[in-house]
């Protein structure tokens, strides 16, 4: 927060400087502003043509004097602004969350002066002309100083300052406007052909990957959860031509471990013969789930294993996966030396034991970790995915060595199953809302009981809560088309 003059003093300064500049022609306020194709009073997010980051009021502050910075687009109201007609072709730029307007702070006419929000006093340092460059970008010039809104020192770093600088038309002075909705909502499904989905929210973006069945791992991202519906797929890894892992890619998961993103998926040597399916691990050399990635290894190359996930518990890292034990496809666990190397004992912690786990086939697979307060849970998918009875069960950590089956208690009933026109809802993951206050479930499901394990499965999401005893309450699948509020903080 910047130190600032009292409001009354600032108002007097505004009047005095406006009079002086009009008399002596010290600034560009007498120049006619350029015309622009903007809609007054429409809320916009404003992103830099240079950095791709959005104008943002620091720390969501509603106080006068809070600085204008750039940050990853989140869609939050401290990144939404509207242009209010100030007369003469000029506009006030108002922040939605605070109702304050952007100004050249403390009437500083120098290059590099701070831009901040302040109470609307009508001063020329709070008025901006808008130049339309005709290529989808705009520049904003302050009436008092005659200088343009500028991304200081060509920064591409989130959190860096916005300033003013002598107009030059460069990319650091060009901005894109995207209309912001009055309210954010979404409805399922968020992806067709979206089996085995995984979503994480990281640094202003939702990232999502799903099964491809082919040689590739794909990723899409969006600043809003609803935006994942139309976001483009990016291939972040391709095993084409690698004989032992070329084919049948499924169940991608990406996890941030010790500050690095790791992506684990299942693949094998054939599109039709699935006897070669094994877990593979990639490591990102970038700082997002988009990669780029490097191949780290196959944790268990000498055995069939699928649907891998990570558990971090009591300062140690564990691998979770599914593998056969006689007629039972079961959930296994082993400690890891690093995210691609298994060490020590391999143990079964869940195998089909209830009737609801054996419909069509005896299956426990796709373990996913949920940690809340001091509790650790593992959901798993039960019964055959070819049936509408594919569903979720729950393991609860009861203490002790996680490798020991006695350290886990299995629910006697499924915790999520078919309903409301959604069949086979399972193979899930978890993520939190941008502000961290909400928990969300992502899973796949079919719209017909006759659909099975193929491309008909849709990616679906919904929020969930916790019961008084601390266990998760996932409720029932939300029907297709029902409107859900967007995650808190969008």
Q: Check pLDDT > 50 for residue 463.
A: yes
Q: What is the mean pLDDT of the chain?
A: 91
Mean pLDDT, residues 400-409: 98
Q: How far apart are CA 108 and CA 105, in angstroms?
A: 6
Would you kindly state where each structural domain of the chain is located, as residue ranges? Answer: 7-179, 185-485
Closest listed residue to residue 223, CA positions, set 24, 486, 472, 475: 486
Q: What is the pLDDT of residue 205?
A: 87
- pLDDT at residue number 434: 92
pLDDT for the residue 355: 98
Joined together, the tokens standing for residue 263 give: 């992506």
Report whether pLDDT(227) > 60: yes
What pLDDT was estimated at residue 334? 98
Q: Quote the percentage of the chain above a pLDDT of 90.
A: 82
Our answer to whether residue 365 is catalytic in this structure is yes
| 374 noted as active-site residue | no
Topology given in CATH for the domain delimited by 7-179? Trefoil (Acidic Fibroblast Growth Factor, subunit A) (2.80.10)
C-alpha angle 255/259/262, rounded to 5°?
30
pLDDT digits (tens, 9 = 90+) for 35-72: 456 889 888 999 999 998 999 999 889 899 999 999 98
**In which band, very low, low, confident or very high, does the pLDDT at 81 lie, cut at 50, 70 and 90?**
very high
Mean pLDDT of 440-468: 97
Q: Output the pLDDT for position 33.
A: 43
**Do 62 and 101 form a contact (C-beta atoms < 8 A)?**
no
Q: How confident is the model at residue 181 (pLDDT cuts 50, 70, 90)?
A: low
Look at residue 476 in the predicted model and tell me its pLDDT.
Answer: 96
As a dihedral over the C-alpha atoms of residue 190, residue 193, residue 197, residue 202, rounded to 10 degrees, the angle is -50
Which of 76-80, 160-164, 433-437 bottoms out in mean pLDDT, i.e. has the lowest?
Answer: 76-80
Q: Looking at the predicted structure, is the pLDDT value of residue 230 above 90? A: no
The pTM (predicted TM-score) of the whole model is 0.67
- Which pLDDT belongs to residue 367? 98
Of 56, 150, 196, 389, the catalytic one is: 196
Catalytic hit among 323, 328, 365, 389 = 365
As its CATH architecture, domain 185-485 has 5 Propeller (2.115)
Report d(CA 470, CA 140) in Å as an integer: 52
Q: Residue 477 phi/psi, 5° resolution?
A: -55, 135
Which 3-state string (H, E, C) describes 431-471? EECCCCCCEEEEEEEECCCCCCCCCCCEEEEEEEEECCCCC
Do 185-485 and 7-179 have the same topology in CATH? no
Residue 22 above 90 pLDDT? no
Tokens of 214: 């082919």
> pLDDT-based confidence at 26, cuts 50/70/90?
very low
């Amino acid at each position: 927060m910047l130190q600032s003059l009292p409001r009354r003093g600032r108002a007097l300064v505004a009047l005095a400087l406006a009079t002086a500049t009009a008399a002596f022609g010290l600034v560009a306020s007498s120049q006619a502003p350029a015309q622009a194709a903007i809609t007054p009073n429409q809320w916009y997010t404003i992103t830099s043509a240079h950095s791709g980051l959005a104008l943002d009021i620091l720390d969501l502050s509603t106080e006068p004097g809070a600085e204008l910075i750039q940050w990853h687009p989140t869609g939050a109201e401290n990144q939404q602004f509207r242009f209010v007609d100030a007369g003469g072709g000029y506009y006030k730029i108002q922040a939605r969350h605070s109702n304050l307007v952007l100004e050249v702070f403390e009437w500083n006419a120098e290059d590099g002066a701070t831009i901040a929000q302040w109470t609307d006093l009508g001063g020329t340092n709070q008025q901006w002309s808008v130049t339309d460059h005709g290529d989808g970008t705009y520049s904003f010039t302050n009436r008092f100083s005659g200088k343009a809104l500028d991304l200081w020192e060509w920064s591409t770093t989130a959190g860096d300052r916005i300033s003013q600088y002598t107009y030059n038309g460069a990319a650091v002075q060009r901005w894109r406007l995207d209309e912001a909705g009055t309210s954010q909502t979404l409805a399922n499904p968020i992806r067709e052909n979206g089996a085995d989905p995984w979503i994480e929210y990281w640094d202003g973006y939702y990232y999502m990957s799903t099964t491809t069945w082919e040689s590739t791992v794909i990723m899409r991202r969006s600043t809003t959860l609803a935006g994942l519906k139309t976001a483009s797929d990016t291939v972040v890894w391709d095993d084409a031509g690698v004989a032992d892992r070329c084919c049948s890619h499924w169940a991608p998961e990406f996890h941030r471990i010790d500050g690095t993103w790791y992506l684990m998926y299942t693949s094998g040597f054939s599109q039709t013969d699935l006897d070669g399916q094994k877990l593979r691990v990639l490591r990102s050399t970038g700082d997002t789930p988009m990669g780029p990635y490097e191949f780290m290894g196959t944790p268990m190359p000498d055995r069939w294993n699928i649907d891998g996930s990570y558990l971090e518990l009591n300062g140690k890292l564990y691998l979770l996966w599914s593998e056969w034990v006689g007629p039972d496809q079961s959930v296994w666990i082993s400690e890891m030396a690093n995210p691609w190397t298994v060490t020590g004992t391999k143990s079964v912690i869940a195998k089909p034991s209830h009737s609801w786990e054996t419909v069509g086939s005896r299956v426990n697979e796709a373990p996913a970790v949920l940690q809340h307060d001091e509790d650790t849970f593992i959901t798993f998918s039960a019964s055959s995915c070819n049936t509408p009875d594919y569903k979720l069960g729950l393991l609860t950590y009861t203490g002790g060595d996680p490798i020991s089956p006695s350290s886990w208690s299995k629910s006697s009933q499924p915790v999520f199953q078919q309903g409301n026109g959604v069949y086979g809802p399972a193979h899930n993951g978890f993520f939190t809302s941008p502000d961290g206050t909400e928990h969300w479930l992502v899973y796949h499901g079919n719209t017909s009981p006759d659909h099975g394990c193929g491309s008909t499965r849709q990616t679906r999401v919904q929020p969930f809560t916790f019961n008084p005893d601390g266990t998760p309450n996932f409720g029932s699948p939300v029907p297709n088309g029902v409107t859900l509020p967007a995650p808190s903080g969008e």
